[in-house]
Amino acid sequence: MTRYETPNALRHDAHTLADDARALLDATAEMTDEKVAEARQRLEEALNSGKQTYARLQEKATQGAKAADQAIRTHPYQSIAIAFGVGALLGFLVNRRD
């Protein structure tokens, strides 16, 4: 399994896959074979489903970022304390492993 270093790498590969799938749909548009038509239909449905999923994930990420921003603005000192605590805990755990 490949791990992506950045969300942009994953986004780029997803767009490339979608572009390749659209190119395949265009290339097979003239074919009349029943199996090809069924495969084209499934691929088209998968592309549409992927678009909808991407839109939902993007909306959820935006809502989460807005909620986090609001929480930090409402409680700035508590946010700083939590960030410091998490950083200290991570530092302790990393140093403990060595």
**pLDDT above 80: residue 98:** no
Q: Which pLDDT belongs to residue 85?
A: 96
Q: Which pLDDT belongs to residue 77?
A: 95
Q: Which pLDDT belongs to residue 13?
A: 80
CB 48 within 8 A of CB 25: no
Read off the pLDDT of residues 8-64 as tens digits, 9 standing for 90 and up.
777 788 888 888 888 888 888 787 788 888 888 888 888 888 888 888 988 999 999
pTM of the predicted structure, to 2 decimals? 0.58
* Residues 49, 52, 54: CA angle, nearest 5 degrees: 110
**pLDDT above 60: residue 1:** no
Rounded-to-integer distance, Cα 62 and Cα 39, Å? 34
CA trace torsion 40, 46, 51, 52 (10° rounding): 130
Residue partners of 14: CB distance under 8 A and separation at least 6 = 50, 54
